[in-house]
Structure 1
């Protein structure tokens, strides 16, 4: 289903095709998200004006919607973009940051789910909230393990006919039936603000080149996680880790480290 040779070819394809990723994301992570996309070979754009968002959504290879710092103005831009993506069949990714912690964003995420995102990339608490349960979120952070939310991830995927990329100590990708577990990564990734949000943008980039959203999610999660492992092996200091992570994201397609992939079908 998802193996090292496919992973390697998809990393190369992102580099070669440089998919244009339209990012409607939160204010905290704009710079990091843009740099992460550039590091993997994709092309980022942060177009939010209501007067431009529809036209740009038609041009983009993929769309990211991240509700981290949601405003009324931004929510309308997101509605316009996802409606356009649905019409043009452009793949799009929902990152429901802190869903379950605040009613406004939670209800808005439920609205966005009706537009059939290609992938929902979220932590355990966020997925529990989207499944209609108490996710016990601590702001944008999860208080649950990914293992605890796996059944909810399968439920959300089935209910909304999407792929769920559930991140945590073990990452899971599911379409409600098939499940892949990915065991790469480093705890250091949780110490740098915006790595999860940037990962969602990577999922969008991979959706533009992969044969299915399921495979796209597996590839993006593996790319970030293995790069995190390699960066953590070089430094434990947070500042230098962030720089090393960017380097490893760029270098991974060239150095055959995909052999480190820890992936199994459940």
Structure 2
């Protein structure tokens, strides 16, 4: 399976460069600028449309929707719900990033409502996925306190319960649809030192599922692999978090299909 999916995600990587999918990103104040630049560098077209007066209408024309609950307010939640409903009605995929959903009652209630709208993909850190799967996590705010491997069973349970693809990101990423599972190695420890890196990855997952709505599992793996390969290369020239951020965006832009394929590190179960 590994060779088959490696070829598929390499093909998806190449398709991203030529398709330029339109992605609606409802994300947090901290992440907006960085996430938009990441999408542009990777070959997608970001649209930061969140207000309920237009979010639903826009979701119907975008290739995919991503919803990140990092900085919640009632107006933004209304926009998220309107957009998710519209994406469903239009048959468009959407991605949920349940940032620190266990931290407050407002976050828990918001994520519970969003889950009823059946996201296509759920991407989170290990603590977020463990908590969503009904377990006890060691997360503190937006930071994960659990290793990815401890979230794998919760991810499978959640994927089956939601009929969704679940991506757990960390030192070695894990993606499952409840039946198939893939681990993706690579990246850099500096990625955790740059705010909004995970939020930007959620946006990129949206871009990939936009170009392959019939291959959601493979598209999610491709997005995470794109991040991992670019991050590993960026770390080689970075002196710290600030220079890494620049090198990473440049790396996403400059990465070619041959280099991507040669540096994939994925393993299937």
Corresponding residue of 1:156: 158
SS in 1 for 2:170: coil
Q: What is the CA distance between 1:239 and its match in structure 2?
A: 1.0
**Structure 1 residues 3, 224: CA separation in 2 closer, same or farther (over 3 Å shift)?**
same
Q: What is the CA distance between 1:254 and its match in structure 2?
A: 4.9
Q: Which of residues 212, 218, 223 is equivalent to 1:220?
A: 223
Moved more, 238-247 or 4-13: 4-13
2-side partners of 1:176 and 1:7: how far apart?
Answer: 19
Residue by residue, what CA displacement relative to the aligned partner does 1:21-54 show, whole Å, maximum 9, x if unpaired?
0011011000000000000110000112222112
Corresponding residue of 2:88: 86
Moved over 6 A (4+): none
1-side partners of 2:154 and 2:132: how far apart?
Answer: 8
Q: Which of residues 75, 90, 106 is equivalent to 1:73?
A: 75
2-side partners of 1:171 and 1:122: how far apart?
Answer: 10
Determine if the alignment matches structure 1 residue 258 to structure 2 residue 248: no
| TM-score, normalisation: structure 2 | 0.96
Q: What is the CA distance between 1:169 and its match in structure 2?
A: 1.2
Contact map agreement 2:23 2:207 (CA 8 A) in 1 = yes
SS in 1 for 2:122: strand
1-side partners of 2:215 and 2:256: how far apart?
Answer: 20
Corresponding residue of 1:107: 109
SS in 2 for 1:233: helix
Residue by residue, what CA displacement relative to the aligned partner does 1:101-131 show, whole Å, maximum 9, x if unpaired?
2221122112111111111010011001111
Q: What is the CA distance between 1:12 and its match in structure 2?
A: 1.8
Corresponding residue of 2:238: 235
| TM-score, normalisation: structure 1 | 0.97
RMSD of aligned residue pairs (Cα, Å): 1.2
SS in 2 for 1:28: coil
Gaps of 5+ in 2: none
Equivalent positions of 1:1-266 (< 5 A) are 1=1, 3-210=5-212, 211-254=214-257, 256-266=259-269
Contact map agreement 1:29 1:197 (CA 8 A) in 2 = yes
Contact map agreement 1:99 1:109 (CA 8 A) in 2 = yes
Contact map agreement 1:8 1:256 (CA 8 A) in 2 = no
